[in-house]
Amino acid sequence: MNDNHFGSIFRRRIIYVVIVGFFALCVIQLFNMQILQQPVYSEKSDENSVKPIYQLAPRGIFFDRNHKVLVGNKPSFTLRITPSNYDTKLTPYIEAILGMSPGYIDRILKANEAYSKFIPRKIARDVSFKVIAWYEENSSKLPGVDYVMETQRDYSFGIGGSHMFGYTKEIPLGTYQKRKSEYDIGDEIGFNGIEKTYEDYLRGEKGINYLLVDSRQKTIGRYMDGGEDQQAVKGADLILSIDKEAQRVAEEAFKDKRGAVVALDPTNGEVLAFLSAPEYNLEDFAKVTSNEVWRELNTNPDKPMFNRASMSTFAPGSTFKMISAIAALEEGIIDTNSKINCAGGYQFGDRYFKCLHVHGSVDVEASIEKSCNTFYYSLVNKLGLDLWSKYSKKFGFGAKTKIDIPEESGGIVPSTEYYNRVYGKNGWTRGFVISLGIGQGELNVTPLQLAQYASLFANFGKSAHPHFLKSYVDTKTKEKYDVKPQYFDIGISKKSFDIIRRAMYLVVQGAGTATNIRLPDIAIAGKTGTAQNPHGKEHSIFVGFAPYDNPKIAIAVIVENAGFGSTAAAPIARDVIKAYLKKDKKEEPKNLEVSQLAEGANNAH
């Protein structure tokens, strides 16, 4: 045999090995794809042929206590981009169509890079029908772009209420990672206010429709196998304790002012009106909020995003005099016969604390009616810091009220421990306490706390924690569930309350500092205050309740930089009280059937 013969055999063997090896690789790959990787490829195949379309549930509606709509829903179109299919060359074209600034879409996509590229990103909410028509005409040229029908909040019912309602926003990454089983990327979630507190009631349950699509993800028709489509379930409707008319009057009064109004039902803590002014426009948060809007809100010196009603802290001024009075009555330091002579001020050491007038000999009732500072300079000195602090805290100052929104401050009630911590044991004197008697000094309270304070005087020391939710309607069962208030009693005698309440009555109905708000058919009791402000004109304050014999509303009003309490805050309080207690108003709201309420909710756009 020659070399050519052996070479031929060798070549044939090489070819045989290559062929066998090739078929062996094919068999291994087929085994891997059809056996080992079958679930993965099966899932991918399903994704290519059956496309799930999630239907977002409409959020629950907000009603007032008389079943008038406060916040509803309306349909809207949302344009989306799925990064895995999207051609970034389309970006300038889409931005031009939508009127977006250059780079807007890139910023959204970059901000969401942590999420899967197969999950759609919402780039524009509440787009016009004209844009949707443009998309339908050009969809074949817009890979990775689509739109969905959603609902968005509708705030066209005549009430602002931004700081109590709050708003929704796209779920942040951190929250999404904690609640993946409940939310998808791009879902809306309550971010503050009532929207946040009652998110689990409001969000409802998503629906899902399965569609047949081709390899280009173009819809062929519905996927009928198994009938797995699920209808979305609307969130629960909330019946709030807010009185729409009282809220409207408060908002009208503060159109060009800064400050707050909080009105409560003193018998059960229901919030009747709640305003922080200036407000912000909730419509700006119903869709993607522009950078220009954010910049304006965050640089505005009036701080419209800040909730003054429950977070701002002020010196309460003369409205706080009732604390010293009731503490001294309870401790037996004074009685109704005790008098202090006001010669226009009070001498303590080398300091002279002025009163606004020379009141002469005044008892506790006259001291509140006439708002005599001298009486309280002397009285708080007799009480001492820690007794004064004890009774201040009994009325809820220095602690949160537990209202059912997350934005709340506790304020400051000074005590010996507080002064020692701030100034050192030898860094303060008893002279620090004198100003506390008239609601000045380091004392800081919120308008919400002052409204609760007024409620406690109205209802003889018994009330409930302030709350917005009165009841809710379950969408599935159509059942209405009432909320039970959390009641408390601060443990002060009716005798002491009778004395202070009578003095508050005389402030308005007698010869006191708020006779200008007297009404012919409603007896208002209250107390004015003028709080010093180191940054400008004094703040105007009023606290009160009505009707005197059977209180149904307690209120606190603060108007920033407006001067005397009688001239700015008290008239606003009067108008809100009048709106709530108007003559044609029934004792209780009309008792609609739950089915009627649910129907009304669905008709609110």
DSSP assignment letter at 518: -
Distance CA 306, CA 405 (A): 14
Pair of tokens at residue 3: 């070399």
Residues 6+ positions from 337 with CB-CB distance below 8 Å? 363
Residues 145/149/152/156 CA torsion (nearest 10 deg): 120
> What pLDDT, on the 0 to 100 scale, is given for residue 584?
46
Distance CA 199, CA 152 (A): 15
Residue 19 has pLDDT above 80, yes or no: no
Among 106-120, 261-275, 340-354, 434-448, name the one with the lowest average pLDDT: 106-120
> What pLDDT, on the 0 to 100 scale, is given for residue 498?
98
| Strand duo 525-531 + 259-264: pairing | unpaired
> What pLDDT, on the 0 to 100 scale, is given for residue 588?
44
Pair of tokens at residue 209: 């429709």
Residue 201 has pLDDT above 90, yes or no: yes
Q: Which of 73, 78, 83, 87 is nearest to 54 (CA)?
A: 78
Distance CA 515, CA 139 (A): 70
Q: Please give the single-letter amino acid code of residue 193.
A: G
For the segment 177-181, the average pLDDT, to the nearest whole number, is 87
The string of pLDDT tens digits covering residues 306-317 is 999 999 999 999
CA 339 to chain centre: 46
Distance CA 26, CA 21 (A): 9
User: pTM for the complete prediction?
Assistant: 0.84
Question: Hey, which bits of 176-295 come out as E strands?
Answer: 188-190, 207-213, 219-222, 237-240, 259-264, 271-277
User: Of residues 586 and 116, which shows the higher confidence score?
Assistant: 116
pLDDT class of 273 with cuts at 50, 70, 90: very high
Q: Which residues pair with 354 in a beta bridge?
A: 345
User: 215: exposed, middle or buried (C-beta count within 10 Å: 0-12, 13-18, 19+)?
Assistant: exposed
Q: Please give the single-letter amino acid code of residue 387.
A: L
pLDDT class of 587 with cuts at 50, 70, 90: very low
The string of pLDDT tens digits covering residues 280-315 is 999 888 776 777 777 888 888 999 999 999 999 999
Q: Which residues pair with 259 in a beta bridge?
A: 277, 559
Residues 6+ positions from 224 with CB-CB distance below 8 Å? none
State the alpha helices, DSSP H only, in 460-581: 494-509, 569-580
CB atoms within 10 A of CB 244: 22
Q: Which of 387, 389, 385 is nearest to 398 (CA)?
A: 389
Pair of tokens at residue 8: 């031929």
> What pLDDT, on the 0 to 100 scale, is given for residue 600?
47
- Secondary structure of residue 75 in the 3-state scheme: strand
Contact 212, 219 (CB under 8 A): yes
Q: Which domains, ranges and CATH numbers included, belong to the chain?
A: 51-240 (3.90.1310.10), 245-580 (3.40.710.10)
pLDDT class of 34 with cuts at 50, 70, 90: low
Contact 557, 261 (CB under 8 A): yes
For the segment 58-83, the average pLDDT, to the nearest whole number, is 93
User: Of residues 196 and 51, which shows the higher confidence score?
Assistant: 196
> What pLDDT, on the 0 to 100 scale, is given for residue 605?
45
The string of pLDDT tens digits covering residues 495-548 is 999 999 999 999 999 999 999 999 999 999 999 999 877 777 899 999 999 999
